Chains A and B, each alone.
Chain A
Amino acid sequence: MSSTVTPVTKEGPVTKDGPRRNGSGTGVRAGRPHTAWILPGVLFFAFFAVVPMVLAFCLSFTQWNGLGDPVPVGLANWRKLIDDPRLTQSLTVTVLLTVVSWAFQTVVSLLLGVWAAGRQRNRAILSAIFFVPFLLSSTAIALLFYALLDPNFGLIQGDTLGTTSGAFLAIVFVGGWQFIPFHTLLYQGGARQIPDVLYQAAAIDGAGRYRQFFSITLPQLRNTATMSSVLMIVGSLTYFETVLILTQGGPGTDTAILPYLMYEAGFRSYDFGYASAVATFLVVAATALSLLLVRLTGFGAMRSTREGM
């Protein structure tokens, strides 16, 4: 499809875009495919991700049990959502889970990643072992800990998942156990790209190991940390299966994170209108959060960490 479109309208964007291009200092136009090449990808993504988001917004003003047609009910679902004590609780536990997981995973994977970036043989072997949990799917890992934490059988005595703090910490731990290997790898890759001259210069200035870590390694890992944090924060929403398998949102509704609340409302209570309101809320929260991150860190501009070198 793309190849048939290209030659026809080739002139359009070239002339339209010419001045800006020159302004940015690159006067060359070699190998510039027509914008229409993005259409298949954009349409596909729009159909399966953007349209459903808009639909969720519309459905949030209706009542619908999955059969027949949705009935408009105005703001009823939103009113119910605001008055729902479960929402406050769910929001609190979602934010808490995200923040605690982010802190836990970032600290461990940053340290492990920088450590693993060294090329010593023992580090290479241990890194290979550290990676193993990532080979299991999240479902498999949730099942593994479901079995290991089973009070009648497990590794740990007592009913860990029966207490609020136990269930919460179990979810944080299981999420970390799965994703730390991946983020360690990101930090390892990032740390290996830090030019050695920086460390040599610091050593000449008499900076010790810890000073070097805080003054060189950490600032140089800025872009890695942003990418890793965005993935962690969005990823903490995928603890859905961990929650579903490990705690079913329990004890009570103490670990019912927003996605779980939505799942229960939609696919257990068949209240799709209300579920859509929760879903819309989730999108807004996630987008705001990642916009904030992108803004704060300048990720959109893809700034280089090599500036001034």
Chain B
Amino acid sequence: MSHATSHATRPHRPAPAPTKPPRAAAPVHRRRRTERPNLLAGLGSAIWLAVVIIPVYAMITTSLAHQDEALGHNALKPPSHPTLENYRTVLNSGFGHFLANTAIVAAAVVAIVLVLCVPLAYVAVRSRTFWSNTAFRMFLLGVAIPAQAVVVPLYLMIAKLNLYDSLLAIILPTAAFAMPVSVLVLTGTLRDISEELYEAMALDGASPTRMLFQLVIPLAKGGISTVVIYSALQAWNGFLFPLIFTQSDGPRVLTLGLFNYVSQFGVNIPALLASVVLSGVPIFVVYLLARRALVDGLMGVGGK
């Protein structure tokens, strides 16, 4: 057994290794080959930098301005008397509660998606029976089903199940709609686990269940973290399901909370922008702490 696992962790390591050294050397190589710097690319990236930075900058400066100062004021000029009052307004309007709801939804969606999709992908890759192939095709097509298209009948079903206006009403459909891409990503990852590793474990008499936990899951960490990030983002971004399946303050998630601030704050644009800034803070912290994991995980959605 220990033999099999030591095998199991190894092929993953050398895989990136041979590709890395030549790449590290590549820029040097290329620079020597093409002496002139890529002006076009430099110009393009400078333009895009402006496109990204200016709205973010305007958002932050305006969120620090007094309400009366902001009206008719050039958003690019920093406010003369910066204030945190707008942030206080937002925090006193249920922001923390909405954020907590979003966190619960995201955690539940991730858990459901993982528990359902890992075995699915395992079967789709290893046991290519008629039914598993059919299921795989269904998920492949499922990528294209827009959530909007099912929202009316889902509304009816949620009402009949007595789930209307609860967090579960958001969690269950959000998880279902995160599944197609998750299955695709996981099958892509599982395809790379080599036949010999399964054979080695089979010689040890391992059941498919044991292989799932001791071989497949440890080796599919890349794909699994992609799925975690992807499905958490679906929950974080979700707007339509909360809009239609909930109405009271209790199960209100952050996206819907922000949407309601539009009517609540009215012309108080600085407070509205403060709520937008605040909504970005938690995920920005995650980005700072785990940029590599987040970026690598998201790259995984593209497969290879």
Residues of A within 8 A of B (CB): 2-3, 6, 13, 16-17, 20-21, 26, 28, 30-35, 37-38, 40-42, 44-45, 47-53, 55-56, 59, 66, 108, 111-112, 115, 118-120, 123, 126, 128-133, 135-140, 143-148, 150, 152-155, 177, 182, 185-190, 192-193, 195-196, 199-200, 203, 208-209, 223-224, 227-228, 230-231, 234, 237-238, 240-241, 245, 258-259, 262-263, 266-267, 272, 275-276, 279-280, 282-283, 286-287, 289-291, 294, 300, 302
Contact = CB atoms under 8 A, between A and B. Distances in A.
Contact of A290 (B112, B141, B207): B141
Interface in B107-148: 112, 115-117, 119-120, 122-124, 126-129, 131-132, 135, 137-148
B129 A13 contact: yes
A30 B38 contact: no
B302 interface: yes
B51 interface: yes
A135 B26 contact: no
Given A50-B138, A147-B62, 20 more contacts: A13-B127, A38-B131, A41-B117, A48-B176, A52-B150, A115-B45, A136-B279, A138-B237, A139-B237, A139-B258, A147-B273, A153-B70, A155-B58, A190-B304, A193-B19, A240-B239, A241-B239, A262-B149, A272-B152, A283-B150
Contact of B142 (A2, A49, A145, A259): A49
Contacts of A128: 291
Q: Counting chain B CB atoms within 10 Å of each CB, which of A17, A42, A50, A302 scores highest?
A: A42
Contacts of A258: 148
B302 A37 contact: no
Contact of A223 (B33, B34, B304): B304
B91 interface: no
B303 A280 contact: no
A217 to B, nearest CB: 13
A137 B303 contact: no
B276 A136 contact: yes
A65 B285 CA distance: 45
B56 to A, nearest CB: 6
Given A143-B258, A234-B144, A155 B153 contact: no
Given A185-B299, A245-B262, A115 B44 contact: yes
Given A49-B145, A135-B280, A283-B145, A30 B291 contact: no
A182 B34 contact: no
B84 interface: no
Contacts of B90: none
Contacts of A56: 149-150, 152-153
B138 A42 contact: yes
Contacts of A302: 188, 191
Contacts of A30: 195, 198-199, 201-202
A33 B212 contact: yes
A153 B75 contact: yes
A155 B48 contact: no
Interface in B270-304: 272-273, 275-276, 279-280, 283-284, 287, 291, 295, 298-304
A276 B173 contact: no
Contacts of A280: 149
Nearest to B236: A137
Interface string B58-76: 1100100000001111011
Interface string B230-267: 00000011011000100000000011101101100001
Given A153-B75, A259-B148, A31 B141 contact: no
Given A38-B119, A147-B272, A154 B75 contact: yes
Interface string B18-38: 010011101101100110001
Contacts of B275: 143
A258 to B, nearest CB: 8
A259 B62 CA distance: 32
B129 A17 contact: yes
A276 B152 contact: yes
Contacts of B123: 33-35, 37-38
B152 A59 contact: yes
B148 A262 contact: yes
A38 B112 CA distance: 14
A9 to B, nearest CB: 12
Nearest to B257: A139
Q: Counting chain A CB atoms within 10 Å of each CB, which of B71, B154, B195, B208 scores highest?
A: B208
Contacts of A208: 34
Nearest to B141: A287
B27 to A, nearest CB: 6
B17 interface: no
A245 B302 contact: no
A196 B183 CA distance: 30
B151 interface: yes
Interface string B205-218: 01111011001000
B208 A286 contact: no
Nearest to B240: A240
9 contacts: A33-B123, A38-B131, A38-B135, A41-B117, A45-B116, A136-B280, A272-B156, A275-B152, A286-B149
Contacts of A41: 116-117, 119-120, 135, 179, 183
Contacts of A119: 23-24, 26-27
Contacts of A48: 150, 154, 172-173, 175-177
